[in-house]
Every structure is written in structure tokens, then in C-alpha cells.
């Protein structure tokens, strides 16, 4: 068009296309990302900085790895030699050995904080005297150790220092006369027979998990097993024809515990019809959804959940069923020696504790057995025969002067 529009500014060309408002920014073009190499990704993971949780774990290693990485002449390494002897010669359980390892680690940490960080085992043992041991006890209490934990640490200390003294690594045992705290004697928590029946009926009998839990509860109450003995139980340890279960207790001590007919029926149904559905990956009787053995924590959570469903008004644990097993046997007329063998106690004093659980049973035995009790027989204390008249006269007269 040769003619210019009216009102147009000379020297400027008009827009060839209308401008869309709000879309002036050009659209970004995405370039295709290069293919990632698996080797480069693995190297990036290795070179990545550690998280704060991993750094904390590196700063605070476990007692086992700290002892293995310690110098060969250190106190921790000497403690490992003692623990190996306890495990191989005396046959202590691995859990007890691990607890003693933590106790020796506490002693080594205390000595390191007291200025014996660069000392070897002999030099560290030479620093231990009565005053240092008392400071060690105060250090443990300030750290938050309870009475039972403190008593175990002192027992470990007496054994370890006695072993060092026998090998002439130190002169005498300064912990031999060190008394531990006085522990209160607490009565065990025991369920009534109605509470036991409610707990056994709590699992769902229609699901495989409920049938597994029902068998677990029946076995605990029928045999009085510890939770560690329960989770380590293998199918070959159950002899359903003889009606017994072979148990390996503390220190790998073996014992045979019988089972009643109802527990046998429940266990037979579980082993035949329920356990194969879990696709067993381990040789354990009680398995989780993955086919591996249940842990102690899992058993504790299950029993706590079923206690809430059964409306038991107190907190219970797997050991509560063991206490209940022993108490109900004694109430039924079992003797202490038999209960001791069934529980696997090495000392009868541990079994005697169950005789103080039910005060009503003790009161009933007292009323039935004491010869001067008014309840025994038809005769009352008022109907007791009176002493002869001569005896009453002798008792009323004063003694004649000699």
C-alpha cells in the first residue's frame, strides 16, 4: 500500500501480527538428558557425604567393634580374651557375654576419661584401687544406670578383675569386697485363670496370623518358656507324639518340658496347616509374614496387643505367662523341685519366689494346717480343755522362798 494510514508515525513499520498479551516470554526448549551410567551412579553414592545419623554411628561404634579395633595390649582387648573364655569354657549365653562386653567398655571409657587414654592394660589395671572403683560407681550412677544394671556391672567387674589377678596382671582384686546395691524383692506379675482364658481367646482363629498367635500363646502358657527360648525353637524340637518340647535355656542347658493335650492339638494344627503358608525361610517354629523367625520384640508387641483386646487392666509381657505357668502349677499342688526343673532354674531360691505370690493360698494353708487355728475342726478356742485344778493352784501361788 503506497498510501500511509492516517495518524501513523513516519519511520516506524506496523506490527505484522497481533501481539498476545501475557505470553511474551519465549518457551524453553528441553535438551535430552544423556544416559546415566550405572558405574557413575554407584561412584556418586560412594563419594556422597555421610548423613548426620551415619556420622553419629561412626563416632559411637558398638562395644564389639570398639574392642576389635582397639590395640592388642589395651584393656578392651584383654576383656575380649576373658569373654572368649566365658563363652567357650563356662558356656555362658551370647547375650550375657554381650552384656559383659558393654560393662568392660564402660570401665574402659571411665579410665580413658580419668586420664588413662594412652595406657595399656597393665597400666590401666594398676590405676584401679578402692578410690577409683568408688568413683567408677558414682560415674555410673550419674550416667543414669539403675540398681540392677549397676549390680550386674559390679558382678562383671569382680569376675574380670579376679581373672586378671589369677593371671598376675595385677596384684589382688580391689573389687572383691565391693558390695553392690541392695535390690528390692519384687513379686512377679501373675494373671488369673480367667485372664489367661481371655488372652488365649483373643487371636482371630480364622486367619493364619491369628492361628499362629494362638499356638504361640498356648505354648507359652503350657510350657513356661522364656521369650528367647520361644523364638529360637525349631520344628525338630517339638515331639508331638511324646508330648514334650526340647528347650535350650541359658548357657545352652537342655531340658524337656511336657505339654498338655490342648496345646498339642493347637501346635499340631499350626505345624501341619498354618506354618507352610508362611513360606519358611528359616528353621524356626514361629514365623513372620516374610517367612523368617519372629523376634523377641515382635512377640512382646503381640502379647501386649492381645492383652488390650482381652481387656486385661495391666501391662504384661511374655515373661508374665512364665510367671503364671509356675504360680498355677504351685496352686495345683506341684512341689518346688518339679517347678524348678520345668522352668530351668539353676537355683531353688529363684523358684521359691512364686510361693509368695498368692497371699490367699498361703492363708488357706495356714488355716487348714495350724493346730491352734480356730477354723480347723468343729472345736473352737473357747472349748479348749482347761488345765487341771492343781496346775491352776500352782500357777496362782507365788514361788516359795528358797
Q: What average pLDDT score do residues 140-149 get?
A: 89
pLDDT number for residue 23: 53
CB 307 within 8 A of CB 205: no
The Cα 363–Cα 331 span in angstroms is 13
pLDDT number for residue 347: 80
Backbone angles phi, psi at 128, to 5 degrees: -80, 120
Pick from 318, 323, 354, 322: which is nearest to 336 by CA? 354
What letter would DSSP give residue 255? E
Candidate list 211, 322, 323, 328, residue with the active-site label: 322
What domains lie within the chain, and their CATH numbers?
A: 60-166 (no CATH), 193-359 (1.10.443.10)
Higher pLDDT, 52 or 309: 309
Q: What average pLDDT score do residues 158-185 get?
A: 86
Residue 252: active-site member: no
Terminal CA-CA length for the chain: 165
* Segment among 63-77, 135-149, 216-230, 257-271 with least mean pLDDT: 63-77
287-319 pLDDT per residue, tens: 999 999 999 999 999 999 999 999 998 889 999
Q: For the full predicted model, state whether its pTM sits above 0.85.
A: no
Inter-CA distances, 213 with 169, 270, 397, Å:
52, 10, 77
Candidate list 226, 275, 284, 328, residue with the active-site label: 226
Pick from 320, 290, 323: which is nearest to 306 by CA? 320
Q: How far is residue 366 CA from its own chain's centroid? A: 37
207-258 pLDDT per residue, tens: 999 999 999 999 999 999 999 999 999 999 999 999 999 998 877 788 999 9
Q: What average pLDDT score do residues 354-383 get?
A: 66
277-290 pLDDT per residue, tens: 999 999 999 999 99
Local confidence band at 66 (pLDDT 50, 70, 90 cut-offs): low
* Ramachandran sector of residue 22 (left: φ over 0; alpha: ψ -120 to 50; beta: rest): left
The Cα 344–Cα 225 span in angstroms is 9
pLDDT number for residue 364: 75
Secondary structure (3-state) at 254: strand
Which regions of 131-287 does DSSP assign to beta strands (E)?
238-239, 244-248, 254-258
Local confidence band at 57 (pLDDT 50, 70, 90 cut-offs): very low
Residue 127: active-site member: no
- Angle, CA 148 vertex, CA 145 and CA 154 arms, to 5°: 80
pLDDT number for residue 235: 94
Residue with grid cell 498367635, as numbered in its chain: 213
Candidate list 158, 246, 304, 319, residue with the active-site label: 319
Residue 226: active-site member: yes
CB 158 within 8 A of CB 172: no
pLDDT number for residue 116: 72
Pick from 338, 335, 296: which is nearest to 317 by CA? 296
CB 286 within 8 A of CB 231: yes
Residue 179 has pLDDT above 90, yes or no: no
C-alpha cell at 291: 517367612
Residue 253: active-site member: no
CB 291 within 8 A of CB 279: yes
Pick from 309, 278, 296: which is nearest to 200 by CA? 309
Candidate list 221, 270, 306, 354, residue with the active-site label: 354
Backbone angles phi, psi at 377, to 5 degrees: 80, 180
Residue 345: active-site member: yes
Residue 322: active-site member: yes
Contacts of 114 (CB under 8 A, 6+ apart): 127, 132, 135
Sign of the CA dihedral running 376, 378, 381, 386: negative
Cβ neighbours around 349 below 10 Å, total:
9
Higher pLDDT, 38 or 294: 294
Candidate list 250, 296, 304, 358, residue with the active-site label: 250
Query: Percent of the chain, pLDDT > 90?
Result: 37
Amino acid at each position: 500500500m503506497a498510501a500511509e494510514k492516517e495518524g501513523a508515525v513516519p519511520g516506524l513499520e506496523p506490527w505484522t501480527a497481533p501481539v498476545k498479551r501475557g505470553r511474551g516470554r519465549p518457551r524453553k526448549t528441553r535438551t535430552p538428558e544423556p544416559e546415566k551410567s550405572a558405574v557413575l551412579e554407584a561412584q556418586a553414592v560412594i563419594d556422597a557425604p555421610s548423613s548426620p545419623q551415619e556420622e553419629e554411628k561412626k563416632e559411637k561404634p558398638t562395644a564389639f567393634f570398639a574392642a576389635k579395633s582397639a590395640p592388642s595390649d589395651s584393656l578392651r582387648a584383654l576383656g575380649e580374651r576373658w569373654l572368649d573364655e566365658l563363652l567357650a569354657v563356662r558356656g555362658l549365653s551370647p547375650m550375657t557375654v554381650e552384656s559383659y562386653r558393654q560393662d568392660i567398655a564402660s570401665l574402659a571409657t571411665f579410665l580413658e576419661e580419668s586420664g588413662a587414654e594412652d595406657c595399656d592394660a597393665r597400666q590401666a589395671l594398676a590405676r584401679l584401687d578402692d578410690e577409683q572403683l568408688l568413683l567408677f560407681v558414682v560415674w555410673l550412677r550419674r550416667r543414669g544406670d539403675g540398681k540392677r544394671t549397676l549390680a550386674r556391672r559390679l558382678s562383671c567387674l569382680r569376675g574380670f578383675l579376679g581373672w586378671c589377678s589369677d593371671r598376675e596382671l595385677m596384684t589382688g582384686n580391689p573389687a572383691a569386697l565391693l558390695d553392690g546395691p541392695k535390690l528390692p524383692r519384687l513379686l512377679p506379675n501373675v494373671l488369673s485363670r480367667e485372664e489367661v482364658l481371655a488372652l488365649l481367646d483373643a487371636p482371630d482363629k480364622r486367619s493364619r496370623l491369628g492361628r499362629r498367635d494362638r499356638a504361640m500363646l498356648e505354648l507359652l502358657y503350657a510350657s513356661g518358656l522364656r521369650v528367647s527360648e520361644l523364638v529360637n525353637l525349631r520344628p525338630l524340637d517339638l515331639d508331638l507324639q511324646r508330648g514334650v518340647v526340647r528347650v535350650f535355656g541359658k548357657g545352652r542347658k537342655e531340658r524337656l518340658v511336657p505339654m498338655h493335650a490342648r496345646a498339642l492339638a493347637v501346635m499340631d494344627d499350626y505345624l501341619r496347616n498354618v506354618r507352610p503358608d508362611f513360606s519358611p525361610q528359616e528353621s524356626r517354629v514361629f514365623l513372620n509374614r516374610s517367612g523368617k523367625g519372629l523376634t523377641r520384640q515382635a512377640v512382646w508387641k503381640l502379647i501386649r496387643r492381645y492383652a488390650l483386646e482381652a481387656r486385661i487392666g495391666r501391662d504384661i509381657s511374655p515373661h508374665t505367662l512364665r510367671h503364671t505357668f509356675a504360680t498355677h502349677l504351685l496352686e495345683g499342688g506341684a512341689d518346688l523341685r518339679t517347678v524348678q526343673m520345668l522352668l530351668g532354674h539353676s537355683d531353688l531360691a529363684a523358684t521359691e519366689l512364686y510361693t509368695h505370690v498368692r497371699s490367699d493360698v498361703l492363708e488357706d494353708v495356714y488355716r487348714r494346717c495350724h493346730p491352734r487355728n480356730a477354723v480347723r475342726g468343729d472345736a473352737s478356742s473357747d472349748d479348749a480343755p482347761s488345765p487341771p485344778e492343781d496346775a491352776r493352784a500352782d500357777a496362782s501361788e507365788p514361788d516359795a522362798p528358797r
